[in-house]
Amino acid sequence: MKPDDATSRFHTIGVVPEPAEPLNERYWYVEGAEARPIGLPVDEFWSQVMSGAPTDPFVSHVVQADGWLVTQYDVEGGAGHEEMHPEGDELHYLVSGDLDVVLVSDDGTEHVITMRPGSMANVHRGVWHRIEARAPSRGIAFTAGRGTRHRPTGSGADPEPPSAP
């Protein structure tokens, strides 16, 4: 089937295909059996989420709904913050590079998951964690983000109130 034929077929059933976009420029949101791109650039999305009062209606939905955020990230060095997802796990798939996912227990003890390209790690719900890259790295994260909290690396403080994704 030619691409034009496929597009015509989608139109006849009332579905218009989404254009392909770079994963590092937009989050995708998966809820139930549906997936949609979030229409804001990553920085603007996070600005609204962290404000506690999103102005975009879809971002407002995302911060309260039970779904998954999917994004690509590029990292060199450390992130400068730790995060915790109280309502679901976070999966990391390493596309390229060399990095550690550092899990931080309540008493400050750290456990390191070393990742190599092609590996996947699960950060269980409720576990504070951060990423530290030993080389420039690219990964894909699948985050059950509702209620996500952030804190400065090594602070051990549990900030209030929780933010969403």
The answer to whether the CB of 89 falls within 8 A of the CB of 125 is yes
Cα 37 from chain centroid?
13
Q: Looking at the domain that runs over 73-140, which CATH code has it been given?
A: 2.60.120.10
User: CA 7 to CA 163: how far, in whole Å?
Assistant: 40
Q: What is the pTM of this model?
A: 0.80
The predicted pLDDT at position 134 comes to 95
The confidence band for 135, taking pLDDT boundaries of 50, 70 and 90, is: very high
What mean pLDDT is predicted for residues 136-152?
Answer: 89
CATH 2.60.120.10 boundaries in the chain: 73-140
The predicted pLDDT at position 88 comes to 92
The confidence band for 139, taking pLDDT boundaries of 50, 70 and 90, is: very high
pLDDT at residue 96 is higher than 80: yes
